[in-house]
Amino acid sequence: MNPLIKSLALAAVAAATGLPVVAAETQESRCYEMRTYHAAPGKFNDLHARFRNHTVKLFEKHGMVNLGYWVPMDEKDGAADTLIYVLAYPSREAREKSWKGFMSDPDWQAAYKASEVNGRLVAKIETQFLQATDYSPPIKPVVTGEPRVFELRTYTASPGNLGHLNARFRDHTVKLFEKHGIANVAYWTPAPKESGADDTLVYILSHKSREAAAASFGTFRTDPAWLAARKQSEEKAGGSLTTQGGVKSVFMTATDYSPLR
């Protein structure tokens, strides 16, 4: 599409929906990938070293945007062996081209071979393709300079209620999080045809600390505005917007090589 026509179209969408142009553009074109690596026994530090010294720079070389790299804080979530990170690409097609170039890069092949002389570093890889919601803030690397923890939250909507769940976040939850000192980092749903595309919301928040998170959620959950929004949305949907046990939370810390920290 002609850049001028595209800009005018995005502006029209923003005017009609009340959404910022940045969110509209992100929603239209950007592809996100959340990757979870489970390190082989005793290899977690070596895996970090490979990312720190080689992988992150080579991703950039091949047109991938490094957004954030995190390690879970709790043992039950994989604190001893799990790395979670998010990359962004202009499109799914661009993603395939970038990975092809990365995997065939002699620098990567040399780094990979050298790092695995004494055995494989990764036991398992999970990947999920995502698209930003229309209410997500601009998703970009930000270094605040202040200590903070991140929280990865995954919601499974009750049957047919992902739209109602997104509406509640769009119209109420995101603003109320900010009111109570919770920073909105990114909101996604799985890309079309991906597992969970019809019922899953994935988002990341940041807090000053675990204690601050508990305090913020405590005041959020008792806020009359939240209680009213929740009641109204559930009455409209005919029940809870999430399945039983459908809210998952993982607290994380950013790695020293994460662009977002």
Asked whether residue 23 carries a pLDDT value surpassing 90, the answer given is no
- 167: three-class secondary structure by DSSP: helix
pLDDT at 156: 98
Q: Do domains 19-131 and 132-254 have the same CATH topology?
A: yes
> Kind and range of the H or E element at 70?
strand 65-72
Residue 192: pLDDT band with limits 50, 70, 90: very high
Asked whether residue 25 carries a pLDDT value surpassing 80, the answer given is no
pLDDT, tens digit, 9 for 90 and up, residues 211-234: 999 999 999 999 999 999 999 999
Kindly tell me the number of DSSP H helices and DSSP E strands found in the chain: 10, 8
Fold of 132-254: Alpha-Beta Plaits (3.30.70)
- CA gyration radius, the chain: 20
Nearest to 55 by CA among 66, 43, 68: 66
> Kind and range of the H or E element at 23?
helix 21-29
The CATH label, of 3.40.50.300, 1.20.1250.20, 3.30.70.100, 3.90.1310.10, for the domain at 19-131 is: 3.30.70.100
Backbone angles phi, psi at 30, to 5 degrees: -80, 140
Residue 144: pLDDT band with limits 50, 70, 90: confident
Tokens coding 22:
């940045």
Average pLDDT of the chain is: 91
Length of the chain: 261
pLDDT at 26: 45
pLDDT at 143: 86
Does residue 260 contact residue 152 with C-beta atoms inside 8 Å?
A: no
- 120: three-class secondary structure by DSSP: coil
* Burial of 20: CB neighbours in 10 Å, binned 0-12, 13-18, 19+: middle
Q: What proportion of the chain, given as a percentage, has pLDDT over 70? A: 89
pLDDT at 12: 46
Tokens coding 83:
């790395």
Q: pTM for the complete prediction?
A: 0.88
Asked whether residue 197 carries a pLDDT value surpassing 60, the answer given is yes
pLDDT, tens digit, 9 for 90 and up, residues 39-87: 999 999 999 999 999 999 999 999 999 999 999 999 999 999 999 999 9
Q: Which residues have a Cβ under 8 Å from the Cβ of 183 and sit 6 or more positions away?
A: 148, 177, 205, 206, 207
* Total Cβ atoms within 10 A of residue 235: 9
pLDDT, tens digit, 9 for 90 and up, residues 108-129: 999 999 999 999 999 999 999 9
Distance of alpha carbon 136 from alpha carbon 153, whole angstroms = 14
Alpha-carbon distances, residue 125 vs 30, 39, 96 (angstroms): 22, 9, 17
Sequence spans of domains, the chain = 19-131, 132-254
Does residue 128 contact residue 33 with C-beta atoms inside 8 Å?
A: yes
Distance of alpha carbon 239 from alpha carbon 234, whole angstroms = 5
Does residue 65 contact residue 130 with C-beta atoms inside 8 Å?
A: no
Cα angle for residues 63, 67, 73 (degrees, 5° grid): 145
Does residue 126 contact residue 35 with C-beta atoms inside 8 Å?
A: yes
Amino acid of residue 138: P
